[in-house]
Amino acid sequence: MSGRYDHLDESSVRTRPSRKGNRPRTKDRPAHEDAVVGVVVGVDRGRYTTRIEDRTIVAMRARDLGRSRIVVGDRVAMVGDTSGEPDTLARIVRVEDRDTVLRRSADDSDTVERVIVANADQLVVVTALADPEPRERMVDRCLVAAYDAGLEPLLVLTKADLADPENFLRHYKALDVPSLVTRGAPDGQLEAGSVEAVRARLTGRTSVLVGHSGVGKSTLVNALVPEAHRAIGVVNAVTGRGRHTSTSAVALELPEGGWVVDTPGVRSFGLGHVDPASFIEHFEDLAPGTDGCPRGCSHDEPHCALDEWVAQGHAGPSGPARLESLRRLLRSRTGEDRG
């Protein structure tokens, strides 16, 4: 896995050398031996809401933590008042190394490359089968972001009561992306069985949900986490601030274990940081075919060695379709339609 996590640098939060010069890193400082480690579930203007088992602890950054961002999903070590009692505030003295980072590149609306969520292991792309119509390109872009971040993708196709998923799923067959459908029931709720199938897939994991407005993401989150509203209310009560003014991610705990991270502010991913050469490593069946490529090959150009390699059958009968899908994903990184 050479270099897969090289890009995690931003997360290695270290104290800067102090002005006095020789203070040890936070990590090594014995004074923080009593620190407790929680998971960041919400971030709102310098206040971090964290959870340790059943306690909700609000914390701020210790002054010597440096500038690195702390995001939802980060595991943070805290000192000070970690009782979780109302009006208490702990201090974050350390951010543990991240297993994964989901990021988006700078784009027109935001000129800074940002880590959106840390330590997730699954990216759930929520798309309606109708009303609004599914957008293949947007889904493709989410898949690129997922593969690039080392997250397993899952398609959740909502509103299956309005349209048949088969047509849409054809686009993802060669990619072998797991998918589930949810459907509305006559009583206006979601059909219970379809929600349970999603729940089974999410339990025990940290899943980031992304989806366009109106696809039914909130409906699904509320079905999965009955206290979702209340949980969000807790964040409010503690920070004393309105959740609706914030578009940052929020982690909700599933009743059976695991986390669902809702990302209200994330409608698309800038993908400028995704490099074709490393992206292809996620296609283990195709990657060996790039040995004969010209230097710096985009794998979507006339001299790309993959065409011949796949035509010779090296990637099996599904090779041509896989290559086509790979190229479609690579192309989705650029272009005007940001999905």
Ligand X SMILES: Nc1nc2c(ncn2[C@@H]2O[C@H](COP(=O)(O)OP(=O)(O)OP(=O)(O)O)[C@@H](O)[C@H]2O)c(=O)[nH]1
d(CA 149, CA 143): 10
Shortest distance (Å) from residue 169 CB to ligand X: 17
The tally of CA atoms less than 13 A away on the side-chain side of residue 126 is 29
What are the Cα distances from residue 199, in Å, to 97, 213, 227, 258? 28, 21, 15, 10
Question: 199-218 mask for ligand X (x: CB under 6 A)?
Answer: ------------x-xxxxxx
d(CA 153, CA 268): 15
Q: Which of 38, 211 has the CB closer to ligand X? A: 211
Q: Which does 50 bind (CB under 5 to 8 A by kind): Zn ion, ligand X, none?
A: none
Q: Which of 220, 286 has the CB closer to Zn ion? A: 286
d(CA 50, CA 34): 17
On whether 173 is known to bind a ligand per the annotation, the reply is: no
On whether 211 is known to bind a ligand per the annotation, the reply is: yes
> Measured on CA atoms in the order 282, 9, 124, 76, is the torsion positive or negative?
positive
Q: Which residues contact 188 (CB under 8 A, 6 or more apart)?
A: none
d(CA 234, CA 228): 10
Q: Which does 293 bind (CB under 5 to 8 A by kind): Zn ion, ligand X, none?
A: Zn ion
Interface of this chain with ligand X, residues 57 to 86, rule: CB under 6 A: none
**What is the full DSSP assignment across 69-103?**
---TT-EEEEEE--S--TT--EEEEEEPPPS-EEE
- 103, 159, 299, 333: which one contacts ligand X (CB under 6 A)? 159
On whether 216 is known to bind a ligand per the annotation, the reply is: yes
d(CA 264, CA 45): 16
Decide if residue 134 touches ligand X (CB under 6 A).
Answer: no
On whether 217 is known to bind a ligand per the annotation, the reply is: yes
In 3D space, the residue among 15, 62, 56, 70 whose CA is nearest the CA of residue 35 turns out to be: 62
Shortest distance (Å) from residue 94 CB to ligand X: 34
Interface of this chain with Zn ion, residues 285 to 324, rule: CB under 5 A: 293, 297, 299, 304
Shortest distance (Å) from residue 324 CB to Zn ion: 14
Interface of this chain with ligand X, residues 173 to 192, rule: CB under 6 A: 182-184, 190
On whether 142 is known to bind a ligand per the annotation, the reply is: no
Query: Which parts of this chain interact with ligand X (CB under 6 A)?
Result: 158-159, 161-162, 182-184, 190, 211, 213-219
Binding site per annotation, positions for Zn(2+): 293, 297, 299, 304
Query: Which parts of this chain interact with Zn ion (CB under 5 A)?
Result: 293, 297, 299, 304
